[in-house]
Chain A
Amino acid sequence: MYKILKKQKWSDTIFSNWIEAPFVAKAAQPGQFIILITSQSGERIPLTIADSNAKEGWVQIVYQVVGASTLELSLMNEGENLYAFVGPLGVPSEIENFGGKVLIIGGGIGIAPIYPVAKKLKELGNYVISIIGARTKDLIIMEDKMKEASNELLIATDDGTYGQKGFVTNIMDDILKKESEAIKDIWAVGPPIMMKMCTRVANEHNKQIWVSLNSIMVDGTGMCGACRVSVGGKTKFACVDGPEFRGNLVNFEEMILRQRQYCDQEREALMLLEEKIRRQASNG
């Protein structure tokens, strides 16, 4: 079960895996996520569903190596099995034909989860304008697929190595200046700081915006409250009430502080794993 059918390396730190998970694939909808455990001693980590195929029974995930668990996942080979893979979790995106244009913004690894949202929006007849961005050219992922899922695709890199130089928010601001009226809804997925800035731009234009919150999770089914966030002054669980919320209501400062909760332990675990890999390499 949960076999890695295919694995691709997209950059130094970004990977994509296709996992055999027929039950998840059958039920998955845009905006939802999964939780996986690499091995028996592993932790439960949430990853948003980048794509799925009910007929063929697979789910695609995209991840960046940021710590021990993602490093371990990146080292697993095609044909190997994950210890656990559960989903789809969370509330699906509120997608319909809005009778106009929608703005889709994906930052870095956040481009992956925004893809199914854009695809579905376009399928339902919306005019989809997508903006994808990253620090540098190598970190722009899924460009072809995003092109397919959008009516217009715009690209930004911080260092100007590809597309427009600058942040996704610069392009977003330009578009909203030009055609604020026509934009019926906005989605932004990416690092918390990016979603916070996108929300600020949306607020300046008096627009609503959806963001997908990536808070720390354990069970992912509403049993523990590890992922709790303040939305409109109320405590919500990102795993069952979200992960998508109206950005205008989210307390990003609190969320960012909560994400740093285990910094020290995360660093320790990564160092130990890297040490172990070095030892194995020198012995082998």
Chain B
Amino acid sequence: MAEKLKPAEKLKKDRVPMRNQEPLERVQNFLEVPLGYSLEEAIQEAQRCLQCNPPYCVAGCPADVRIPQFVEKLIAEDIKGAFLEIKQTNALPAVCGRVCPQEEQCEGACIMNKKGKPIAIGRLERYVADWAKQLDYSDAKKPSTKLNKKVAIVGSGPAGLACASDLAKLGYDVTVYEALHKAGGVLVYGIPEFRLPKAIVGYEVDQIKELGVEINLNYVIGLTKSVDELMQEYDAVFLANGAGAPSFLKIPGENLNGVYSASEFLTRSNLMKAYEFPNYATPIRVDQKAVVVGGGNVAMDAVRTAKRLGAKEATIVYRRGRKEMPARAEEIGHAEEEGIKFELLTNPVKILGDEYGNVVGIECVRMELGEPDESGRRRPQVVEGSNFVIDADTVIIAIGQSANPIVARSATGVETNKWGYFVADENGKTTHPKVWAGGDIVTGAATVILAVGAGKKAAKSIHETLSNKQ
């Protein structure tokens, strides 16, 4: 068993770094970039935790993970105990440990920030969850009490899965409806293998199924069946269909061949495994020069995917500066190490094509930053006459997603706002007494962990409402 350190000793210790695949090697493959902690490294890092009371880190976690408790068990080398602590509140620890922006959540709230680097909570959560997967250890068991109440969940992304898991544990009969042929939402079609291996998503989804949750794939709510029908068949409905409709720039040339929305590009690569074409049947087009427009995490995922698909040059075009980029610093760093070029303060005005309808370049203008706008970021303005062309045979538009109208069209009495997102209170309650909504379809495109938090809150609220109705 690992020794307990005194607080003064803890403060002197540095954060344990995580090993990564080398940049030159990793751009040749789709394997995960960070290699994860070893047991020794995990314990060494866990020992830095001050075990605060009350713990600030937990307040920063939308999934309410019992962080000091699991860290303490980890130090005691009780990995199973640590896993059970996490799984009490979070159904997707291997996912969240990898893709959460911890710097804004648990780690951002860690008291160690005042003296140095916060505890690497995400990496520790990941270590514990990976341990369970490796040993095929499961805490999933069907609940002994059955409430004989049915809940339908629309969408199997992080919000839907979190809600399904919490409700199943309480004894509800939960049915999830998923339009695609695999469960996981953005976890399977959006986030690339090199950041989140699909086997890990599959494992955590299987755990949720073992709780008794039924997942109906290839089932489009709004077309195969309406939300109105679900309202009649179930005691409650949770809408978690995400913000999947891609936005385009609305500039000339956007329908040229070789121009993709990031959603299409990533769906082809991640969900359909186009990077293994022709062993997998879905094709994808990347030749020598790829340009990705946008500065968020989706843009980073797309540009790093393009590089791995063989682009000699892969470039980010973003209209603001480095400081304003919404992508995680870690992901921007990974992209830079992999040789991604950044054209900052640059905005596309036109996509150029040849006589066969293929993209050959993208015409841009330089931007400068003016006064701060409503979001507090400095507003970019065009530098007149600064037009120039970047050669490109693939252009990927990663400027955001919006609400897909299919689900809302079939839901009578569930109010949406002017952008098509469902109107819901902080507990996910919509304007219809039987319907809750949460995740990106309420907030607009946000993060995995916020969707998990929304799913959990909705589960709690559904339980309260249905319990009072007895």
CB of B279 within 8 A of chain A?
yes
A254 adjacent to B181 (CB under 8 Å): no
Interface residues of A in 64-103 (CB under 8 A from B): 68-69, 83-89
Residues of B close to A41: CB separation below 8 A: 273, 279-281
**A27, A44, A225 — most chain B CB neighbours (10 Å):** A225
Please tell me which one of the listed residues B181, B217, B263, B272 contacts residue A225 in the complex, with CB atoms under 8 A apart.
B263
CB of B156 within 8 A of chain A?
no
Interface residues of B in 254-283 (CB under 8 A from A): 254-255, 257-258, 260-261, 263-264, 267-268, 272-273, 277-283
A128 to B219, CA, bound (A): 34
Interface residues of A in 217-235 (CB under 8 A from B): 218-219, 221-226, 228-230, 235
Which among B77-85, B194-202, B244-252, B338-346 touches the partner chain?
A: B244-252
CB of A42 within 8 A of chain B?
yes
A85 to B180, CA, bound (A): 10
Residues of B close to A269: CB separation below 8 A: 277-278, 281, 283
B261 adjacent to A240 (CB under 8 Å): no
Please tell me which one of the listed residues B179, B260, B273, B283 contacts residue A221 in the complex, with CB atoms under 8 A apart.
B179
Which among B89-97, B220-228, B328-336, B368-376 touches the partner chain?
A: B220-228
A262 adjacent to B406 (CB under 8 Å): no
CB of A258 within 8 A of chain B?
yes
B258 to chain A, nearest CB (A): 8
Q: Scoring A residues 248 to 276 as 1 if CB is less than 8 Å from chain B, else 0, what string do you get? A: 00000010011011100110110010000
Residues of B close to A69: CB separation below 8 A: 281
Q: What secondary structure prevails in chain A residues at the interface with B?
A: mixed
A224 to B260, CA, bound (A): 8
B281 adjacent to A223 (CB under 8 Å): no
B352 to chain A, nearest CB (A): 15
A43 to B283, CA, bound (A): 9
B272 adjacent to A218 (CB under 8 Å): yes
A23 to B220, CA, bound (A): 10
Q: What secondary structure prevails in chain B residues at the interface with A?
A: loop
Q: Scoring A residues 158 to 180 as 1 if CB is less than 8 Å from chain B, else 0, what string do you get? A: 00000000000000000000000
Residues of B close to A226: CB separation below 8 A: 260, 264
B278 adjacent to A268 (CB under 8 Å): yes
Known: A41-B280, A86-B224. A257 touches B248 (CB 8 A): no
CB of A141 within 8 A of chain B?
no
A126 to chain B, nearest CB (A): 26
**B248, B258, B278 — most chain A CB neighbours (10 Å):** B278
Residues of B close to A222: CB separation below 8 A: 244-245, 404-406
Please tell me which one of the listed residues B255, B263, B278 contacts residue A224 in the complex, with CB atoms under 8 A apart.
B263
A258 to B244, CA, bound (A): 22
Please tell me which one of the listed residues B181, B223, B406 contacts residue A27 in the complex, with CB atoms under 8 A apart.
B223
CB of B419 within 8 A of chain A?
no
Residues of B close to A266: CB separation below 8 A: 283
Please tell me which one of the listed residues B223, B279, B280, B404 contacts residue A89 in the complex, with CB atoms under 8 A apart.
B223
A265 adjacent to B264 (CB under 8 Å): no
A219 adjacent to B180 (CB under 8 Å): yes
A39 to chain B, nearest CB (A): 9
A1 to chain B, nearest CB (A): 8
Q: Scoring A residues 191 to 219 as 1 if CB is less than 8 Å from chain B, else 0, what string do you get? A: 00000000000000000000000000011
B255 adjacent to A37 (CB under 8 Å): no
Please tell me which one of the listed residues B219, B254, B285 contacts residue A235 in the complex, with CB atoms under 8 A apart.
B254
B11 to chain A, nearest CB (A): 48
A218 adjacent to B267 (CB under 8 Å): yes
Residues of B close to A229: CB separation below 8 A: 255
Residues of B close to A268: CB separation below 8 A: 278
B281 to chain A, nearest CB (A): 4
A33 to B228, CA, bound (A): 22
A84 adjacent to B181 (CB under 8 Å): yes
Residues of A close to B250: CB separation below 8 A: 235
**A68, A69, A221, A229 — most chain B CB neighbours (10 Å):** A221
Known: A87-B223, A225-B264. A44 touches B282 (CB 8 A): yes
A17 to B46, CA, bound (A): 59
Interface residues of B in 180-197 (CB under 8 A from A): 180-181, 189
Residue ID in chain B nearest A90 by CB atoms: B223
Residues of B close to A42: CB separation below 8 A: 280-281
Residues of A close to B268: CB separation below 8 A: 218
A222 to B404, CA, bound (A): 7
CB of B326 within 8 A of chain A?
no
CB of A114 within 8 A of chain B?
no
B270 to chain A, nearest CB (A): 12
Known: A224-B246, A235-B254. A261 touches B285 (CB 8 A): yes
A23 adjacent to B224 (CB under 8 Å): yes
CB of B413 within 8 A of chain A?
no
Residue ID in chain A nearest B257 by CB atoms: A261
A240 to B285, CA, bound (A): 24
Residues of A close to B88: CB separation below 8 A: none
Residue ID in chain B nearest A255 by CB atoms: B255
A69 to B283, CA, bound (A): 12
A258 adjacent to B257 (CB under 8 Å): yes
Residues of B close to A260: CB separation below 8 A: 257, 356-357
CB of B387 within 8 A of chain A?
no
A164 to B217, CA, bound (A): 47
CB of B218 within 8 A of chain A?
yes
CB of A24 within 8 A of chain B?
yes
B223 adjacent to A224 (CB under 8 Å): no
Interface residues of B in 140-162 (CB under 8 A from A): none
Interface residues of A in 4-63 (CB under 8 A from B): 23-24, 27, 37, 41-44
B330 to chain A, nearest CB (A): 27
A69 to B280, CA, bound (A): 11
A218 adjacent to B257 (CB under 8 Å): no
A56 to chain B, nearest CB (A): 18
Provide 13 A-B residue pairs closer than 8 Å at the C-beta atoms, listed in order of the A residue.
A23-B225, A37-B181, A42-B280, A84-B181, A223-B189, A225-B261, A226-B260, A226-B264, A230-B255, A257-B357, A261-B285, A269-B278, A269-B281
- Besides A88-B223, A218-B264, A254-B255, 4 more A-B contacts (Cβ < 8 Å) are A27-B225, A41-B280, A86-B219, A225-B263
A interface with B by C-beta (< 8 Å): 23-24, 27, 37, 41-44, 68-69, 83-89, 218-219, 221-226, 228-230, 235, 240, 254, 257-258, 260-262, 265-266, 268-269, 272
CB-CB nearest 6 A-B residue pairs: A257-B357, A265-B283, A224-B264, A43-B281, A86-B218, A84-B181
